[in-house]
Amino acid sequence: MHPTTHAFPENARKALSDERLQKVLSTAGTGFVEKRRKAAERLPEFEALRDQGRDLKNHVLANLDTYLEAFEAKVTEQGGHVHWCRTDQEARDAILGICRKANARTVTKGKSMIAEEIGINDYLEANGLIPIETDLGEYIIQLRHEPPSHIIAPAIHLSKEDVAETFRDAHTELPRDRLLDEPKVLIAEARQVLRRKFQEAEVGITGANLMIAETGSTIIVTNEGNGDLTQILPRIHVVIATIDKVVPTLEDATLVLRLLARSATGQEASAYTTVSTGPKRPGDVDGPEEFHVVLLDNGRSALLGTEFQDVLRCIRCGACMNHCPVYGSVGGHAYGWVYPGPIGSVMQPALLGVKEAGHLPNASTFCGRCEAVCPMRIPLPKMMRHWREKEFEQGLQPATMRRGLGVWGWFARRPALYHAATRMAVKALGALGRGKGRFARLPLAEGWTRHRDMPAPEGKTFQQQWAERKGKR
C-alpha cells in the first residue's frame, strides 16, 4: 500500500468535510469506549494486570533474542518452518515462495495488520494468485479496493447501505434485485460466498496476536471463526508475524489475552482464541499439512534501545484510536497508511520515516486518553513529542515555523525581557479586542484563527498571576 501519510493535512480536511463519513464517525467507536469501561470495571484486577502486562513485555523485549530462538526451536521440533525476514520485500517473497511451491492459485486470509503492512495481497495478485480476505470487514474493503480504517474494525467507516452496494456489484452470480437491507442478510451472503473460497484455497494466511516461545505455538483471536477455517481447510497454513509478538509461556499469553479483548471490544474473551502448533499430527483427519511462520522484523529491532522501544509492547487492541479525539474526527484513512490513531502516530514515523509521517505526531491534542487506556501503558504522547523533536532536528518543519520557534526561544532564554514583552503584548491585545472580546483574525496566527476565534486576553499574564499567588502563600 502506497502511503499518503505526508498528505495528512489535506486528508484530514477532506475527511472533515465528508458528510457521509462524519455521520458514520459520530456513532462509530462510542460503543467500544463504553464497552471497554464496563469490562474494565467488572474485573477488579484489571489495573494490576495492566502493570503486569507492561512488565512482561518489557522483560520479553530485554530478552527478545532468547525468546525468538526458543520459539524457532520449538516450531522446528514440531515439524514447522520459520522464515526470518528483515524487510517487507523478504516477507512477500517468502510467502510467494511457499505458494509457488504448493502450486497454489487461491489463498484465503485471516485479518492481519502485518499482511497490510507488507502489502501481500497486491503482491500475490501481481504474481497471478488470488488472495481472498475472509474477515467480514476486510472482505468488504478488499472488494472496494480500500485500506482498513481501524485495526480491529476495518470497515467501520461504511454503512450497511455501502456494504449492500458493494455486494451487489461483486456477487454478480446472485440476482441483482435481492433484498440486502439488514446486516444479518449481508453476513449470511458473505458466509455463503466465502465458505466456497475456504475450500478452494491451497494456502491459508493468518496473522498472530501472540507467539509462544515455550510451545512454538501461534495464537489468533477472532470473533468470526474465519481465522480458523483459513487454517484448517487449506493444505498449508502460513502465519505472518513480527518479532515483537513473542511471549514466553502459555501463562504469559493468558495475561495478555485477559487484557486484549477487554481493551479492544469490551468482551471478557473473544469468541475464538486458537493456539496453533505445527502441522497436523499422525492420525489427524483435518488440519494443515504444512505450518510456516514468516517472522518479520521490518524496522522493529531498530527501535530497541531507543526512546521508542516501549511502542513494541503494543498488542494492537485499538483502544487508543477508539478514545482519540483526532481519530474520532478524521477517521482512519486520513492517516494515510496501515496504522491509524495514536499508535499510528508513533509507528508510522518509525516505519515510514519522519519525512513521510511527521504530520501525525503533530496532529495531537495531547489529551492523554490513549495512554490512559493503553493496556500495555505505552506512553504514546511522550513518544509523539520525541518524533516532533526528531522532526525539528532533521529540519523538516516549514521555515516560518522554525523561525518563529527561534524567536520564541531567544525570548524564553531571557526571562526579564520575555515577561516584559508578554505583559506589553497582553495589554495591547486586551485593549484592541475589548470591543468584541475576541479576534476573528490575528496576523501571524492565521493558521490558528482560521478555525476558531482567539479570545482577547483579560487582566494579567500567567507569570504575573503565578508570582502574585506565590506571594500570597
Partner 1 sequence: MADTSSARAQILGGIRKALGSADGADEARRRLATHPRNLVPARAQIPHADQVELFATMATEVAATVERLPSLDEVPRAVAEYLAGLNLPAEIRVAPDPKLDAVPWDQRPTLTVTRGRARDPDAISVTGAFAAVAETGTLMLISGPEHPTTLNFMPDTHIVVLKRGEVVGTYEDAWDRLRAAMPGAMPRTVNLITGPSRTGDIEQRIELGAHGPRRLHILLIEDDAG
Considering only the stretches 113-121, 159-167, 408-416, 421-429, report the one whose residues sit in contact with partner 1 under the rule CB under 8 A: 159-167
List binders of partner 1 among 185-214 (CB under 8 A).
186-188, 190-191, 194-195, 199, 213-214
Select from 13, 38, 281, 402 the one that contacts partner 1 (CB under 8 A): 281
Among 99, 257, 324, 351, binds partner 1 (CB under 8 A): 257
Residue 264 vs 338, nearer CB to partner 1: 264
Question: Which residues, 50 to 109, sit near partner 1 by CB under 8 A?
Answer: 52, 56, 59, 62-70, 78, 81-86, 90, 93-94, 97-98, 101
Minimal distance, residue 64 CB to partner 1, in Å = 5
Residue 97 near residue 239 (C-beta atoms within 8 A): no
Residues 265, 273: Cα–Cα separation, whole Å: 14
Provide the CA 184 distance to its chain's centre, in angstroms: 28
SS3 of 229-245:
HHHHCCCEEEEEEEHHH
For partner 1, the binding residue among 25, 104, 211, 233 (CB under 8 A) is 233
In which residue are the cell numbers 494456502 written?
A: 203
Phi-psi region of 305 (alpha: psi -120 to 50; beta: other; left: phi over 0): left
Least spacing, CB of residue 341 vs partner 1, in Å = 17
- Of 147-155, 201-209, 377-385, 459-467, the segment contacting partner 1 by CB under 8 A is 147-155
CB of 430 to partner 1, least distance (A): 48
Q: How far is the CB of 370 from partner 1 (least distance, A)?
A: 20
Residue 315 is a binding residue for partner 1 (CB under 8 A): no
Least distance between partner 1 and beta carbon 177 (Å)? 21
Determine if 276 is a binding residue for partner 1 (CB under 8 A). yes
What three-state secondary structure class fits 391?
Answer: helix
Q: Which residue has the cell 514447522?
A: 80
* Unique residue bearing C-alpha cell 502450486: 103
Write down the least CB distance from residue 432 to partner 1, Å.
Answer: 49
Write down the least CB distance from residue 184 to partner 1, Å.
Answer: 5
Residue 127: CB minimum distance to partner 1, A: 14
Query: Closer to partner 1 at the Cβ: 16 or 250?
Result: 250
Contact flag: residue 274 with partner 1 (CB under 8 A):
yes
* All residues at 6 or more sequence positions from 399 whose CB lies less than 8 Å from its CB, including other chains: none
**Closest approach of partner 1 to the CB of residue 98, in Å:** 8
Task: Give the number of C-alpha atoms closer than 13 A to the C-alpha of residue 309, restricted to the C-beta side.
Answer: 13
Give the residue with the Cβ less far from partner 1, 8 or 71.
Answer: 71
Residue 271 or 432: the one with the smaller Cβ distance to partner 1 is: 271
Q: Tabulate helix, strand, coil % of the chain (nearest 5).
A: 55, 10, 35
Query: Dihedral sign, CA of 320, 324, 328, 334?
Result: negative
The Cα 292–Cα 121 span in angstroms is: 18
Q: How far is the CB of 168 from partner 1 (least distance, A)?
A: 15
Between 3 and 225, whose beta carbon lies closer to partner 1?
225
- Asked whether position 396 contacts partner 1 by CB under 8 A, the answer is no
Please identify which residue in the block is written with the cell numbers 501461534. 218
Contact status: 304 vs partner 1 (CB under 8 A): yes
Please choose, out of 227-235, 378-386, 388-396, 432-440, the segment that lies near partner 1 by the rule CB under 8 A.
227-235
| 264 lies in the site for partner 1, by CB under 8 A | no
Which own/partner contact pairs does 133-136 have at CB distance under 8 Å and 24+ positions apart? 133/109, 134/108, 134/109, 134/110, 134/194, 134/197, 134/198, 134/224, 134/226, 134/227, 134/229, 134/230, 135/110, 135/111, 135/222, 135/224, 135/226, 135/227, 136/187, 136/190, 136/224, 136/226
Q: Is 453 in the site for partner 1 (CB under 8 A)?
A: no
Burial degree of 84 (CB within 10 A; 0-12, 13-18, 19+): middle
DSSP summary character for residue 10: H
**Cβ nearer to partner 1, comparing 153 with 241:** 153
